[in-house]
Amino acid sequence: MSFILPFIILIIVVVFIHEYGHYYFAKKYGVGVTDFSIGFGKELFGWNDKSGTRWKICWIPLGGYVKFFGDRNVFSQADQEELLKKYDKEDQEKLFVTKPLYQRSLIVAGGPIANFVLAIFIFLFIYMFAGKDFTPAVIDEVQKDSPAEVAGMQKNDVILEIDNIKVESILDVSKLILMSTSEIVDFKISRYDQEILLKVKPKIVAGVDNLGNKINKRIVGIKLSPYNNEINHKRLGPANALIESVNEVYFVTTSSLKYMGSMLTGSGDSSQLGGPIRIAKISGQVAEFGILPFISMMAYISISLGLINLFPIPLLDGGHLMFYAFEKVLGKPLSQKTQEGFFRIGMFLLLTLMFFATFNDLKDLGLF
């Protein structure tokens, strides 16, 4: 239960925000919304609002959906003429398929957009009220015969950049090394007021993270410490906090894309890809450290959900946006038969991904 409750809270919040993004743009452009569901399966409880939307919580809390008025295949334009015959002119105005292409695109993209906005808001809150660390990353020790020593790192070097990404804090170093997808990691350091570029080839060793979960670590062989033991942790004003929040979302997004790209090319560590079981486990572990680590994790999960949904895979929001791109180029929607073919491919890809992630989750639990 210590894992399940935090997981359910996290999923409900992130999914609600995602679906509300769809709902917001649908209402903005006059599309009728009949259902707003958190979860799938049988309804646990719900209520109707004054516009006729059924808001409900269902048994399986692993997603959600917004159902639009007249929904048969809400994102398909191929059967538009057939659908219009079923409704009078007033009801036709509430149909998704009658809306201009840009409005349909915004309604579909609204979910991922809302996830990115949620992450920015969480980071903004943290940086303004809890603060952000800006302690310089000073090397206190270089381990003998380590990759760092081979590359020429020395005690008291200050790490400025890793793979051309600025190191703002001592906390950034391990994160940037872990997220790097290159065999050789580029370090820019400051030594006696001179900037030096060093190339380090990390060792890959089996280990555990701060929560005790098994991971493959990239080790360079350095220990860091604050200069003169002075910690520089400060609260930011609204403008600076917003800039730092957007930068963090951008960094996580681009790093995630690079990591996924490395897995496709075979150079990345696919064993770290997890599904709901691993998310549940980690969310429970993080929740034990307090509310700030938990909402930070919520921000990262929200970014992941928004990003994955933008992939051009049918059944995901990005797949529908791909169809709209074809519609814009061709001047007409793809045929129903073509769309159904794409959806079969999308279903196969998603099921394969779910199987692989679940296998990793069970392996992480020691069941394989």
Positions marked active-site: 19
Classify the phi-psi angles of 30: left when phi > 0, otherwise alpha if psi is within -120 to 50, otherwise beta: left
User: What is the number of other CB atoms lying within 10 angstroms of the CB of residue 66?
Assistant: 24
Q: Three-state SS for 335?
A: coil
Is the four-CA dihedral 283, 286, 287, 290 of positive or negative sign?
negative
Q: Which amino acid is at 311?
A: F
Contacts of residue 103, defined as CB under 8 A and 6 or more positions apart, other chains included, come to 25, 29
DSSP 8-state symbol, 312:
S
Which residues on neighbouring strands pair with residue 133, listed in sequence order?
233
Q: Which amino acid is at 348?
A: F
Q: Which amino acid is at 360?
A: N
Residue 60 main-chain phi, psi, to 5 deg: -100, 105
| Residue labelled with tokens 């951008």 | 250
Separation between Cα atoms, residue 303 and residue 285, nearest integer Å:
20
Q: Three-state SS for 128?
A: helix
Separation between Cα atoms, residue 320 and residue 67, nearest integer Å:
15
Separation between Cα atoms, residue 351 and residue 24, nearest integer Å:
29
Going by their DSSP bridges, the two strands 214-219 and 137-142 should be labelled as: unpaired
